[in-house]
Amino acid sequence: MSTDAGPEAPITARRAQTRQRLMTAARVVFAEHGVEGASVEVICERAGFTRGAFYSNFADRSDLVLAIIEQGIAFQFAAAQSAIATMKSAGDRAPEELVAIALSALTGSGAALGTDRHDVITDHALMLHAARDPELRQAYLGFVDVCNEQVAALIRDALDHARITLTVPLEVAVQLLVATHDHLQTLGLFDETRADPSLIGALLAAISRPVDQADPPPARLG
């Protein structure tokens, strides 16, 4: 058993590197030509591999598309986790300071708005391709649902730590924040100066308040 385990490790590592190189090359090709205009041959040529290497890692182009979408979601979630960890390590501070620290860490990571133009174009191309393909549509929605659940749990944890409560249901807050993120990401494709990440902070401030802040008295009628 130990004899078999020895040679498998480097092969597994090499295959993982090959898979990643193919995915990286595909992202560039997708940004340049769109998903429909990117053949397996072109992707392999850009990555420096043969078709055999491609089909050893992916069943077909749709399988590659799903793998890239899933990886992108995982990358952004990891960046959000890191930002929350940075906030938690900041010590006992006022709620608004903790939120500012988390947002600064997130935008500074480069993952908050997807600041790389090619990456943003690729993400949009992948989304549109999935929308056109009935077989990919449900899989894409599945990824979105999982992502929203993870983001909701992360936001809940961050708000509890910062002693902040939402004034709207959590699922509504998640959709508002994701929609704002997507809007800024798209706007940045046309003019980076208009994609101001502070808009996310402004939205969060508008739909939340410190836990110890008293509710305003009810308005008097008449």
> What digits encode the pLDDT tens for the residues 139-175?
888 888 888 888 899 899 999 999 999 999 999 999 9
Is residue 89 domain-resident?
yes
Residues 37 and 131 in one domain: no
For residue 216, the model assigns a pLDDT of: 56
The tens digit of pLDDT for each residue in 4-22 reads 444 444 458 888 999 999 9
- Distance, CA of 117 to CA of 111 (rounded, Å): 12
Residue 3 has pLDDT above 60, yes or no: no
- Domain of 12, CATH number, reads 1.10.10
- Distance, CA of 40 to CA of 30 (rounded, Å): 11
For residue 110, the model assigns a pLDDT of: 52
93, 164 in Cβ contact below 8 A? no
Residues 68 and 24 in one domain: no
Q: Which of 58, 73, 97 is the last residue of a domain?
A: 58
Three-state DSSP class for residue 209: strand
In the chain, which residue ranges form alpha helices assigned H by DSSP?
A: 2-33, 40-47, 51-57, 61-88, 95-108, 117-132, 134-162, 170-190, 198-206
Is residue 166 domain-resident?
yes
What are the structure tokens assigned to 220, written together?
Answer: 């008097």
What mean pLDDT, rounded, does the chain reach?
A: 85
Residues 182 and 79 in one domain: yes
Q: What percent of the chain has pLDDT over 90?
A: 39
Is residue 219 domain-resident?
no
Residues 70 and 98 in one domain: yes
What is the count of structural domains for the chain?
2
- List residues bridging with 210 in a β-sheet: 164
Is residue 222 domain-resident?
no
Domain that holds residue 48: 7-58
For residue 165, the model assigns a pLDDT of: 94
Is residue 220 domain-resident?
no
Residues 66 and 32 in one domain: no
Is residue 181 domain-resident?
yes
Residues 26 and 118 in one domain: no
What are the structure tokens assigned to 46, written together?
Answer: 């850009």
| Residue 221: other Cβ atoms inside 10 A | 4
Query: Given pLDDT bands bounded at 50, 70 and 90, which one contains residue 79?
Result: confident
Q: What percent of the chain has pLDDT over 70?
A: 87
For residue 115, the model assigns a pLDDT of: 55
Residue 64 has pLDDT above 90, yes or no: yes
Residues 122 and 38 in one domain: no
Residue 213 has pLDDT above 60, yes or no: yes
| Residue 181: other Cβ atoms inside 10 A | 20
Residues 178 and 83 in one domain: yes
Is residue 125 domain-resident?
yes
Residues 74 and 124 in one domain: yes
The position carrying tokens 């939402």 is 166
For residue 104, the model assigns a pLDDT of: 85
Q: Tell me which of 64-68, 81-85, 106-110, 195-199 is least confident.
A: 106-110
Residues 120 and 80 in one domain: yes
- Domain of 203, CATH number, reads 1.10.357.10
The tens digit of pLDDT for each residue in 88-144 reads 999 889 998 998 898 888 776 555 445 577 888 898 899 889 898 888 888 888 888
